[in-house]
Structure 1
Amino acid sequence: MELRQIKHFMAVAETGSFTKASERVSISQPAMSASIAKLESELQVKLLDRSRTKIVPTPAGMRLKDRANAILSACSSIKAELRSVATPQPLRIGVLKTLATRPIANLISGYRCLVPGASFILVDGPAEDLRKRLSEKRVDAIITRLEGEAPEFRTRELFREKFVLAAPMDHRFAKEQSVRLSALDGEPYISRTACETFQATTKVLTERSIKFRVTYRTDQDDRALSLVAAGVGLTMLPELFRAPGIQHVQLSDFEIERTIAIQWHEDAEVPQLSQFIKIAASHDWQAA
C-alpha cells in the first residue's frame, strides 16, 4: 500500500466519482481506476461500492477512510516539520530605535556563529510600537527599554545603561573624567528628540535652571553623533553609542539610566527563540 494509493482512494471516497477524483489529483481516469483496483487487490477487500450512481465506501472502505485521514494529516505534519528544519523560519526581532547598532550587530553575528544558517527579520521602533507588535505576535521577541511591569510578556534583563556626555575630541570637556550638569549651561547642544528619556531630562534641566543653546534637533542618533564629531554641539546619549572623533564624559550628578531587556510571549512556538534569549542574556554588550 502506497501513500499515493491512499490519496487516490480518499479522492474517490470524498467526491463519489472516479472522474471528479481524477481531476482532483490530476491523473487520468484509467490510472485512477487501476490504482484503486491494485489497492483493493493488495488488501484483499472491496473498498468502494460501484453499484450506485454515486460511488460510496464499503464498510471496509469506511474504516480505511477514517484511518487514511489520520495518516495523511500525520504525513503533512512531518513534511512541514522537516521543511522547517531544512529551512528554519527567520527570527523576527524588534529592536529599540535608540539602541546603539554596534552591540545589536555583535549579538546577531555571535548568534549566527553558533547557529549557522540562522536568519533574522529585524524591525526597529520606539518602545510603545515594539510592545504593540509583540502583543499582536508580529515579532517573536523585542529588545527594548524596560518600563514598569509587563505581565503579558516574559522578561529577561540584559543590561543597564547610563547616559553620558558626548563631546568632540577638541572640546575642553573631552579632557575631563567627568563634569557636572551645570557646566553645560549655555553650551551648544544637539537635541536627540527620539530619546525616550527626553521628558525626564528636560525636567531635570528645568529644575536646575540649566539652558542649552540648541544648535540642531534630530531623531537620528547617527546624525547626532556625526555632528558632535564635527563640532556642531554636545549631546547626552546612552553610553553604548560610540563613534570616531567623540569622547565620552561622565556626568557626575546626572543619575538617569535605562534598563534594556528582552521580552517574548510565554507560548511562543519558535524553536530557536529560547537559544537566542540565552545568547542575548550572556552577550557582552560592552564589547567594542
Structure 2
Amino acid sequence: MEIDLTRLRHIAAIARTGSFSRAAEDLHITQPALSRSIATFEKRFGLRIFDRDRSGVVPTAMGRLVIEEAERVLRAARDLDHNLRLYARGEGGDLAIGTGPLLAMLLPDIGRRFLDECPAIHLRASVRTPEHLVQELLDDRIELIFGNSWAIRDIPDLEFSSVGSVRLAFLVRAGHPLTAQSGITLEMLAQYPPASAASSSVAGLSSATGSFICDNFHVLRELVIQTDCVWLSAPSVLADDIAAGCLVALKVEDFHDIDSEVALITRRNRTLSPSARSLVDHLRGLLSAHGSRAFA
C-alpha cells in the first residue's frame, strides 16, 4: 500500500498548528477538503490520529506516533528532492575516479576548484597507472580514468576521448652533471638511471644503468631532486620546482619534446554522471592553462 506524501503533509500541518482551519489556510486548501483527507487516511489504516474538542485538536497516543513517523518521512522526502536537484546539476553525490601518476600532481587543483563549486560532492581518487586502474573501471568501482591510453587501447568495452595534452621533457636536478654539458644527446642521457612511472624504456631511451620505476609522482619528484636520475615529465606541472631552481628541463638535440595526450577512459555506452562531466570540464581547463605555459 502506497503512502501519500500529500496526506502526510496534511497530518503534519494540523499537528504544527493545532487547528484544522489554520492548517487548511497554510496548505491553501479548504477545511472540508482537509477533513476529508484525514478521514480517508484514518479509515484506510483503521486508526484515529486526532481528537477534537472545544480547545482544539489533540493527537491521540497512536496519532503522536503517526505524526513522528510522518515528519521523519517528509524530512527524508525533502532531503531526497534537494539531493536529486544537486545530482542533476553535478553538485552532489559520490564520484570515484582514477588518474595516472602525472595527473595526480593536478589533483589538488582539481579538488580545490571542484569542491569550491560543488561542496556537497564526495570525491574519491585512485592514483595508479591506467593499466592497473582498468579493472576498477570494469568493476564499476570508479567511473572514469584520466591518463595515457596507449597500454590499454586494445581492451574491449572501453571508450577513449582526448581531454587535452601535456608537453613532456627530460628533467634533472639542479647541479646534475648534464646541466654543465652542451649538445646533450640521448646517448649522454643513457649514462644515467631513468626514473619513470611505467617503464624503464622511456621515449626510446636505452639506459646503460639501472632504473627506478614508481607510480607515485611525488616519490619520483623527490628521487630526481636528490639523485642523478633522468626523468621524462611535464615541466608545466613542475613549474614551481623549475622556477625555484630545484629542477632543470634539458634541451636534448636528438629528441623533440613530446605532447602526451591525456585521455578520458570510460566504460563503453555508459553515460557519465553530471558530476563526472563537470570534473572533465575542470580538467580540460587546467590542461589548457598548463599547455599555455612555456619554458626555456
TM range (shorter): 0.5 to 0.7
- Checking the alignment, whether the CA contact within 8 Å between 2:102 and 2:217 is kept in structure 1 is no
Does structure 1 residue 211 correspond to structure 2 residue 208?
yes
- Checking the alignment, whether the CA contact within 8 Å between 1:174 and 1:248 is kept in structure 2 is no
Shift of 1:5: 9.6
1:226 matched to which residue of 2? 222
Alignment of 1:97-176 (within 5 A): 98-147=101-150, 148=153, 152-174=157-179
- Checking the alignment, whether the CA contact within 8 Å between 2:172 and 2:248 is kept in structure 1 is yes
Determine the C-alpha separation between the residues in 2 that align with 1:227 and 1:156: 32
1:263 matched to which residue of 2? 265
Corresponding residue to 2:93 among 76, 83, 89: 89
Shift of 1:264: 3.0
Shift of 1:197: 4.3
Secondary structure (helix, strand or coil) at the match of 2:228 reads: coil
Determine the C-alpha separation between the residues in 1 that align with 2:183 and 2:85: 52
Determine the C-alpha separation between the residues in 1 that align with 2:115 and 2:201: 38
Determine the C-alpha separation between the residues in 2 that align with 1:127 and 1:268: 20
Secondary structure (helix, strand or coil) at the match of 1:99 reads: helix
Determine the C-alpha separation between the residues in 2 that align with 1:117 and 1:178: 53
Determine the C-alpha separation between the residues in 1 that align with 2:232 and 2:180: 18
Runs of 5+ unmatched residues, structure 1: 7-37, 50-74
Aligned partner letter, 1:235? V
Shift of 1:90: 2.8
Determine the C-alpha separation between the residues in 2 that align with 1:171 and 1:45: 84
Determine the C-alpha separation between the residues in 2 that align with 1:40 and 1:100: 59
2:275 matched to which residue of 1? 272
Determine the C-alpha separation between the residues in 2 that align with 1:273 and 1:124: 17
Determine the C-alpha separation between the residues in 2 that align with 1:177 and 1:111: 44
Shift of 1:173: 2.8
Q: What TM-score, normalized by structure 2, do the two folds share?
A: 0.58
Runs of 5+ unmatched residues, structure 2: 1-5, 12-34, 47-74
Secondary structure (helix, strand or coil) at the match of 2:97 reads: strand
Q: What TM-score, normalized by structure 1, do the two folds share?
A: 0.60
- Checking the alignment, whether the CA contact within 8 Å between 1:190 and 1:228 is kept in structure 2 is no
CA deviation map 1:113-150 (0-9, x unaligned): 33344441111122122222112211122112122366
Determine the C-alpha separation between the residues in 1 that align with 2:189 and 2:117: 45
2:21 matched to which residue of 1? none
Shift of 1:233: 1.0
Number of paired residues? 223
Q: 1:151 to 1:221 in 2, by over 3 A?
A: same
What is the Cα-based RMSD across aligned positions, in Å?
Answer: 4.0
Alignment of 1:32-111 (within 5 A): 42-43=39-40, 80-85=80-85, 88-96=92-100, 98-111=101-114
Determine the C-alpha separation between the residues in 2 that align with 1:236 and 1:272: 34
- Checking the alignment, whether the CA contact within 8 Å between 1:140 and 1:268 is kept in structure 2 is no
Determine the C-alpha separation between the residues in 1 that align with 2:229 and 2:10: 75
